Amino acid sequence: MAQQQPLAGRKVAILALDGFEQVELTDPRKALQDAGAITRLVSMNRGKVQGFHHDKPADKFDVDLTLEEAKAADFDAVLLPGGVVNADKIRNSRHAQEFVQAMQQAGKPIAAICHAPWLLISAGVVKGRKLTSWPSLQDDLRNAGAEWVDEEVVRDGNWVTSRKPADIPAFNKAAIELIAGS
């Protein structure tokens, strides 16, 4: 029996810099690809980007496009993995901010886990949104005008957010449903 592919042909950008939480990229990426999506890893520079297992270096991954080259119009959705180092660096990228702003303006799906909502704060798009994240971001999110809740997965319009690696199964399911319905 052929496997269902609800995301067949959908293009998903994955924005990550060195220091991303590896499982928050690899597990959702595999789930998206298994559902038929075409994923592209977008980072600051060409070459490879370094994953982490918490605070320990893990594997390196090939970058498909730079943040400067990537255009939101070319993608159907964006996945934002967490990791403290990654999230703290990427939130300062003008190109990353502009990318998520354009995705938001177009109403395209945004899936963010763990520390990734820092980028959404810096991009100025969280005001009035309900979301979750790693608990240490709750004050930042509330101060930026968001409603933060401590739940495994939160869906608000074109967004789906989760707190941590343990939430990945629910996050993957919600992200696939969100993208399939867009």
* Topology classification of domain 11-180: Rossmann fold (3.40.50)
Question: Is pLDDT at 59 greater than 50 in this prediction?
Answer: yes
Question: Is pLDDT at 106 greater than 70 in this prediction?
Answer: yes
**What is the structure's pLDDT at 3?**
63
CA dist 41 to 100, 127, 144, Å? 15, 27, 28
Looking from the CA of 117 toward its CB, the CA atoms found within 13 Å total: 32
The predicted model gives 60-86 an average pLDDT of: 97
Question: Is pLDDT at 130 greater than 50 in this prediction?
Answer: yes
Active-site residue numbers? 115
Q: What are 4-32's pLDDT values in tens digits? A: 899 999 999 999 999 999 999 999 999 99
pTM: 0.97
The predicted model gives 43-54 an average pLDDT of: 96
The predicted model gives 122-151 an average pLDDT of: 98
The predicted model gives 133-141 an average pLDDT of: 98
Q: Domain-by-domain residue ranges, the chain? A: 11-180
Q: Which three-class secondary structure string do you get for the chain?
A: CCCCCCCCCCEEEEECCCCEEHHHHHHHHHHHHHCCCEEEEEECCCCEEEEEECCEEEEEEECCEECCCCCHHHCCEEEECCCHHHHHHHCCCHHHHHHHHHHHHCCCCEEEECCCHHHHHHCCCCCCCEECCCHHHHHHHHHCCCEECCCCEEEECCEEEECCHHHHHHHHHHHHHHHHCC
Q: How many CB atoms lie within 10 A of CB 58?
A: 15
Q: What are 142-168's pLDDT values in tens digits? A: 999 999 999 999 999 999 999 999 999
